[in-house]
């Protein structure tokens, strides 16, 4: 009996052995990209296509007294010129506070005044110069705190006074626990103000759209690089006063997303309007300068954080007040406090939290969403303060983190349920691998100072229920030749979702990867999905596909049982065959499909499934289990600071991340490394500089994106916690790698120099200034 049990277990284990999942399989769509055959938005040419260009305001804050387009209209090759007066449209943005074309006043350097469609791009750009606009320049408001003053003018006129101040666009309040009580219990309390910069996505492909309106059947076809095609379709329909189903969104290959394509931006409905007016296809492609000026950014914000710790080192409370510079219009970026408050309320065990955040209108450029969705900002402030609390206590910085680390089974004050939690293991891993506290970080000489910093992060790992559904649909088909087509609601924006889905189908159906096709670019074809955000695609689309596979297998099993004349329902799918586990007889998968199609009762080898994660809506107090699961990560980073030049060199990044389960180590590594380098940029070099509403560095020369030479040594340790909700146990991974990077680097630089930095990026100027300042105060103390 025991013997039998043992062998049964062995069989079960063998059955569970994964053949495809967990293998370093290259991206299935890499070949077309590496040969230049992939068609991006920039490569689309349609018959009779016109080229669109947009005239933006000359002044960030001005009254528009008149717009004269008569000369532009007369210019040879110009087909159409539009201003706000020529179109009947609705405002866009989630607050509907953003006119597509501006009328009467300009409030931001991006403001679209007029648009031209012409036979060539050169003619369109020439024509813009012939448009005469009379401005009456106003004094703008370029600081969120100034905008909150009584004397400040109302910047956005489209939002009704929902809040106590006319320039507040959005507010969030959250709290748990007894804050006053916990304050009393605290041995040490630290208060700091942190200032976070504007960072831009700088996708390698600039923003682009090709719109083709068919004025015979009155349907609009859009080739768009949106990362949320179904929300986009609905937003576009609202903007243009059309029926959403008359708008078909096709996504060409997308040259980078990172959150920039979550909002619909004015240039997109403008392009559609030019196509509607002319009856011809129209294409708008941003120049790199336009991309820097007119594409979204990571929210700049000021975070006031007060946090306490008891005498044993347990975190007691956190009190947070955040003022975000919303810019002139509201985008999804205004909702980042959803995520920011999770970091503050639920990263490390915490007894009490009070959180207030507001987004304030200014005449600056408006922010959008960016990988991490507010979390890198929050984590920077929080992890910096944890170091300071440890210093106050005289406690080791690793020890205080381990003591307070989140645990499996924990329900946080905000109601997040950690069914699986690798936080402690992540911390222990990076502490041991980096030889934290053991390896003496010997300085090379008195000029070069070395330091090490720690930081962790918490992020949603199983989608985020912020829309009515966080679901994804799949239709799965096997054809009579044994090829499989996955029609998924999810999108590929370079992250590798197509490959992961193909791997899942290959694993479960025993079909060669080469015989699996993924269809995911057409709203007329694919089932509904929210879109690429919240690190959700592998989790949600993977589960959706697994659901469809289960249904399809039931159909295939029935036919196979009939063909093999067996009543035993246990089959294995392997090497394009279906094998009876009882008799070991097998039949080719394509033959089963043909028999399904061509013999009674004649059915298709097709199945559809809609997956909705188990997560819940948060209540009005922002409490509830908002994600299917949660991802954790820790990073230990070593730096070397050149005290003569102020340059910070990142040496080693030790990163441990709770990924649930590694689905593909090659793709996972790519997400980790890419995320970390974006985090290094956020920490040290990247800032979109603004002066009175204008962007000062709209090019790669002056906006310092990192190069191959700036890449540190990255040591990655995946932590597998096998979450029961995830496909094969996997959690979302995309955003997590960059979230703690800037925080860990800041802690390392502070450690190296025995100094404090409260602002990002930590540029050489700031380093030199801080060193000089310290020398000055040290001297004063010694006097």
40 binds another protein (CB under 8 A): yes
What count of Cα atoms within 13 Å lies in the side-chain half-sphere of residue 537?
22
- Measured CA to CA in angstroms, residue 30 lies from 33, 37, 663, 708 at distances of 5, 10, 18, 20
C-beta separation of 301 from 325 below 8 A: yes
24 binds another protein (CB under 8 A): yes
Q: How far is the CB of 13 from another protein (least distance, A)?
A: 29
Subset of 482-521 contacting another protein (CB under 8 A)? 493-496
Burial category of 98 from C-beta neighbours within 10 Å (exposed 0-12, middle 13-18, buried 19 and up): buried
39 binds another protein (CB under 8 A): yes
Site string for another protein, 250-289 (x = CB under 8 A): ---xxxxxx----------------------------xx-
> Site for another protein (CB under 8 A): which residue of 18, 204, 525, 588?
204
> Site for another protein (CB under 8 A): which residue of 708, 754, 765, 779?
708
Q: Judging by DSSP bridges, how do beta strands 472-478 and 484-488 pair with one another?
A: antiparallel
C-beta separation of 306 from 203 below 8 A: no
Site string for another protein, 445-484 (x = CB under 8 A): ----------------------------------------
201 binds another protein (CB under 8 A): yes
Taking CB under 8 A as the binding criterion, the range among 391-399, 504-512, 661-669, 685-693 that sits at the site for another protein is 661-669
27 binds another protein (CB under 8 A): yes
Site string for another protein, 100-129 (x = CB under 8 A): -------------------xx-x-------
Q: Which residues of 296-325 are buried (b: 16+ CB within 10 A; e: fewer)?
A: bbbbbbbbebbbbbeeebbbbbbbbebbbb
Taking CB under 8 A as the binding criterion, the range among 36-44, 171-179, 540-548, 766-774 that sits at the site for another protein is 36-44
> Site for another protein (CB under 8 A): which residue of 30, 137, 411, 689?
30
Subset of 214-233 contacting another protein (CB under 8 A)? none
Long-range Cβ pairs for the range 692-696 (8 Å, 24+): 692/60, 692/140, 692/142, 693/60, 693/61, 693/108, 693/109, 693/140, 693/142, 693/363, 693/364, 693/365, 694/60, 694/109, 695/109, 695/292, 695/293, 695/365
Q: How far is the CB of 666 from another protein (least distance, A)?
A: 4
Q: How far is the CB of 39 from another protein (least distance, A)?
A: 7
Number of other CB atoms surrounding residue 714 within 10 Å: 19
> Site for another protein (CB under 8 A): which residue of 2, 12, 36, 600?
36
| CA–CA separation, 555 and 726 (whole Å) | 25
Burial category of 373 from C-beta neighbours within 10 Å (exposed 0-12, middle 13-18, buried 19 and up): buried
| CA–CA separation, 277 and 279 (whole Å) | 6
| CA–CA separation, 304 and 331 (whole Å) | 23
- Measured CA to CA in angstroms, residue 83 lies from 99, 661, 673 at distances of 11, 52, 44
- What residues are paired with 305 via a beta bridge? 192, 320
Q: How far is the CB of 702 from another protein (least distance, A)?
A: 10
Size of the site for another protein (CB under 8 A): 57
C-beta separation of 226 from 199 below 8 A: no
- Considering the complex, state which of residue 105 and residue 673 has its C-beta at the smaller distance from another protein: 673
> Site for another protein (CB under 8 A): which residue of 68, 711, 715, 756?
711
- Considering the complex, state which of residue 581 and residue 696 has its C-beta at the smaller distance from another protein: 696
667 binds another protein (CB under 8 A): yes
37 binds another protein (CB under 8 A): yes
Q: Is the peptide bond before 601 cis (omega within 30 degrees of 0)?
A: yes
647 binds another protein (CB under 8 A): no
Q: How far is the CB of 305 from another protein (least distance, A)?
A: 29
42 binds another protein (CB under 8 A): yes
- Considering the complex, state which of residue 14 and residue 45 has its C-beta at the smaller distance from another protein: 45
Region class of 646: left (phi > 0), else alpha (psi between -120 and 50), else beta = left
- Considering the complex, state which of residue 624 and residue 674 has its C-beta at the smaller distance from another protein: 674
| CA–CA separation, 105 and 113 (whole Å) | 9
- Considering the complex, state which of residue 313 and residue 681 has its C-beta at the smaller distance from another protein: 681
Interface with another protein by CB under 8 A: which residues?
A: 24, 26-27, 30-31, 33-40, 42-43, 77, 119-120, 122, 201-206, 253-258, 287-288, 493-496, 666-667, 669-670, 672-678, 699-701, 705, 707-709, 711, 714
């Amino acid at each position: 009996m025991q013997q039998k049990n043992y062998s049964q277990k062995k069989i079960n284990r063998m059955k569970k052995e994964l053949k495809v999942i967990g293998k370093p399989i290259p991206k299935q769509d890499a070949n077309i990209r590496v040969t230049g055959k992939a068609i991006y938005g920039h490569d689309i040419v349609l018959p009779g296509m016109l080229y669109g260009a947009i005239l933006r305001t000359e002044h960030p804050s001005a009254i528009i007294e008149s717009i004269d387009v008569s000369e532009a209209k007369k210019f040879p090759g110009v087909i159409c010129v539009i201003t706000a007066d020529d179109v009947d449209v609705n405002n866009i943005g989630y607050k509907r506070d953003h006119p597509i074309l501006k009328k009467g006043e300009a409030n931001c350097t991006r403001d679209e005044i007029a648009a031209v469609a012409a036979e060539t791009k050169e003619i369109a750009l020439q024509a813009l110069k012939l448009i005469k606009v009379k401005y009456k320049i106003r004094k703008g408001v370029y600081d969120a705190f100034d905008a909150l003053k009584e004397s400040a003018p109302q910047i956005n006129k489209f939002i009704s006074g929902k809040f106590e101040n006319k320039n507040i666009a959005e507010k969030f309040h959250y709290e748990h626990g007894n804050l006053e009580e916990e304050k009393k219990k605290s041995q040490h309390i630290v208060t700091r103000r942190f200032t976070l910069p504007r960072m831009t996505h700088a996708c390698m492909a600039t923003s682009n759209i090709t719109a083709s309106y068919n004025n015979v059947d009155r349907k609009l076809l859009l080739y768009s690089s949106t990362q949320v095609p179904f929300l986009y379709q609905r937003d576009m329909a609202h903007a243009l006063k059309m029926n959403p189903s008359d708008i078909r969104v096709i996504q060409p290959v997308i040259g980078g997303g990172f959150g920039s394509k979550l909002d619909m931006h004015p240039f997109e409905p403008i392009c559609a309007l030019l196509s509607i007016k002319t009856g011809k296809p129209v294409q708008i492609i941003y120049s790199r300068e336009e991309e820097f000026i007119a594409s979204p950014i990571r929210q700049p914000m000021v975070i006031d954080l007060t946090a306490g710790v008891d005498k044993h080192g347990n975190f007691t409370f956190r009190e947070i007040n955040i003022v975000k510079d919303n810019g002139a219009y509201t985008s999804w970026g205004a909702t980042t406090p959803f995520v920011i408050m999770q970091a503050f309320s639920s990263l490390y065990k915490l007894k009490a939290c009070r959180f207030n955040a507001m987004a304030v209108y200014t005449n600056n450029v408006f922010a959008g969403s960016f990988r991490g969705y507010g979390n890198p900002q929050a984590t920077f402030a929080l992890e910096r303060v944890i170091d300071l609390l440890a210093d106050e206590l005289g406690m080791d910085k690793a020890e205080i983190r381990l003591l307070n680390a989140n645990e499996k089974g924990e329900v946080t004050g905000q109601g997040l349920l950690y069914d699986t939690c690798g936080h402690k293991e992540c911390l222990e891993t990076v502490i041991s691998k980096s030889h934290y506290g053991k390896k003496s970080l010997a300085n090379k000489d008195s000029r070069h100072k070395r330091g090490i910093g720690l930081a962790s992060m918490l992020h949603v790992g199983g989608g985020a229920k912020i829309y009515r559904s966080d679901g994804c649909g799949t239709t799965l088909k096997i054809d009579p030749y044994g090829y499989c087509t996955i029609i998924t609601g999810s999108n590929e924006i370079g992250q590798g979702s197509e490959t992961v889905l193909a791997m899942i189908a290959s694993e479960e159906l025993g079909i060669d990867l080469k015989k699996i096709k993924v269809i995911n670019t057409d709203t007329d074809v694919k089932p509904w999905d929210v879109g690429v955000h919240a690190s959700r695609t592998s989790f949600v689309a993977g589960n959706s596909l697994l659901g469809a596979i289960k249904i399809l297998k039931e159909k295939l099993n029935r036919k196979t049982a009939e063909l093999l004349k067996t009543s035993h329902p246990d089959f294995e799918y392997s090497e394009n065959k279906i094998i009876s586990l009882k008799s070991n007889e097998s039949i080719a998968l394509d033959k089963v499909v043909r028999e399904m199609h061509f013999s009674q009762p004649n059915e298709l080898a097709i199945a559809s499934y809609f997956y909705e994660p188990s997560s819940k809506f948060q209540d009005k107090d922002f409490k509830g289990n908002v994600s299917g699961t949660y991802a954790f990560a820790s990073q230990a980073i070593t730096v070397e600071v050149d005290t003569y030049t102020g340059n910070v060199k990142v040496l080693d990044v030790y990163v441990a991340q709770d990924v649930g389960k590694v689905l593909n180590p090659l793709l996972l590594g790519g997400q980790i490394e890419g995320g970390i380098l974006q985090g290094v940029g956020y920490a040290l070099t990247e800032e979109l500089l603004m002066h009175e509403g204008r962007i000062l560095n709209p090019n790669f020369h002056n906006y310092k994106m990192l190069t191959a030479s700036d890449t540190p040594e990255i040591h990655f340790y995946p932590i597998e916690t096998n979450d029961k909700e995830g496909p094969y146990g996997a959690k979302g991974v995309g955003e997590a790698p960059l979230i703690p990077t800037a925080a860990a680097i800041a802690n390392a630089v502070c450690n190296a120099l025995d100094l404090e930095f409260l602002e990002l990026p930590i540029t050489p100027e700031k380093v030199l200034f801080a060193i000089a300042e310290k020398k000055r105060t040290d001297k004063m103390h010694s006097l």
